[in-house]
Amino acid sequence: MNRRKFLGSALGGAAAAAFLPFGRALAQPARPMVFASWGGALTEMQKAIFMDPASTALGQPIETVSPLSYAKIKAMVEAGAVEWDLTDIGGHFAVNGGREGLLEKLDFSVIDVSRLDKHWYSDYGVYAHCGAMVMAWNTDMIGQEGPKSWKDFWDVKNLPGKRSLYNRMWMNYEAALLADGVAPEEIYPATDEKVKLMFAKLTELKPHIPVWWTPSTAAQPPQLVSSGELALATSWSGRVIEMQKEKAPIAYTLDQALAVGDVLAIPKGSPYRDHAMKVINYVISEEVQLRLLDYGIYGPVLSSASDKADADTRKILVTASENASKVFYPSDTESAKYMEKYEEEWNNFMLK
């Protein structure tokens, strides 16, 4: 199924869901159930693959809105006026939001996580799809064979050229320690000594980093790599894949890639709490996860779905059996801790 065909069928499903029996509509809150996401291609994909079909399958229309804001979630919950019933958040907010009482605790008698690796769910959120923070490079400048590790990414002698990194401590902490040779099982917990090592490694590379990209400029690093303004950069894998579809001279590797994804969570006090849990359960079913394979950018969190992909598609899937062992899985719980504890030190480093 191609993307155009799928979008059409999904939108048709949404239209059908609008004609629910009148009695059932009366039993629901005055407003429809609302799913909030970040906007753009991501939200288009979530609406087409997850939310519109869920409306039909579960008999409850879902309105998809954007953009999402963590500050708005907090404000809505604290005011007791929750307008969003299901949200697409980062793993850190699932940790912090649960701790702060902003999210509903999930009921795993409703949400079947038995086939998910434990990395992909917590008490307050379940990952719906995944990709990775990867090392990307310009194939005209570097060649088809690029870095195979973060140590290689840091090696400006053998892989010369300008680089770009994310502007947050998250992901840089893990990458820098892996570049220094710290064993994956020793990355956590973050200690003063390990954080000092991270800053030393980043200081070593900093003269070669003219661009620190942000969440709002995530399209920039693969574009600059493709144009030759940068030789290498970290990037979300989906962004690189999009550039490759345009035949840009860019490649990436899943070797030591840092697994990331989007988490479904329910704001505290949602009148659709129980139904939202059914939607999460629907999204992580193998039937629905398989639809991500047709989309070809974001992969399933369910490994059984990834393993049913064709050989070419499996190459980009974090959870495919042959890739799962290559990837490093950052801890949402541990990274939430170190970002809070060392926030001032990180900000000072970025200002230097």
Q: Is 211 helix (H, G, I), strand (E, B) or coil?
A: strand
Q: Which of 284, 351, 333 is nearest to 108 (CA)?
A: 284
Same domain? For 87 and 232 the reply is no
Full domain range(s) for residue 271 = 3-129+261-321
Q: Where are the alpha helices (DSSP H) in the chain?
A: 3-17, 22-26, 40-46, 52-58, 70-79, 91-99, 139-142, 150-153, 169-179, 192-205, 220-227, 237-245, 273-283, 286-289, 291-295, 303-306, 311-314, 321-324, 332-341, 343-351
Same domain? For 253 and 279 the reply is no
For the chain, residues with pLDDT lower than 50 are: 1-27
**Span 48-61, pLDDT tens digits:** 999 999 999 999 99
Question: Residue 233: its pLDDT value, please?
Answer: 98
d(CA 270, CA 290): 29
Verify cis geometry, omega within 30 degrees of 0, for the bond prior to 210.
no
Q: How many separate domains does the chain show?
A: 2
Same domain? For 245 and 339 the reply is yes
Same domain? For 329 and 287 the reply is no
Per-chain mean pLDDT for the chain:
92
Structural tokens at position 335: 């990274």
Same domain? For 217 and 329 the reply is yes
Same domain? For 112 and 158 the reply is no
- Cβ atoms of residues 345 and 199 within 8 Å: yes
Residues with Cβ < 8 Å from 145, sequence gap 6 or more?
none
**Span 137-195, pLDDT tens digits:** 999 999 999 999 999 999 999 999 999 999 999 999 999 999 999 999 999 999 999 99
User: What amino acid occupies position 222?
Assistant: P
Q: Is 272 helix (H, G, I), strand (E, B) or coil?
A: coil
Question: Residue 296: its pLDDT value, please?
Answer: 80
Same domain? For 8 and 157 the reply is no
**pTM for this entry:** 0.87
Give how far the C-alpha of residue 103 lies from the chain's centroid of Cα atoms, to the nearest Å.
19
Structural tokens at position 226: 């493709």
Q: How many helices (H) and strands (E) in the chain?
A: 20, 10
Q: Is 133 helix (H, G, I), strand (E, B) or coil?
A: strand
Same domain? For 185 and 332 the reply is yes
Return the CATH number at 121: 3.40.190.10
Same domain? For 253 and 290 the reply is no
- Cβ atoms of residues 30 and 2 within 8 Å: no
Same domain? For 146 and 181 the reply is yes
Same domain? For 202 and 337 the reply is yes
Same domain? For 119 and 155 the reply is no
- Cβ atoms of residues 43 and 66 within 8 Å: yes
- Cβ atoms of residues 127 and 299 within 8 Å: no
Question: Residue 39: its pLDDT value, please?
Answer: 87
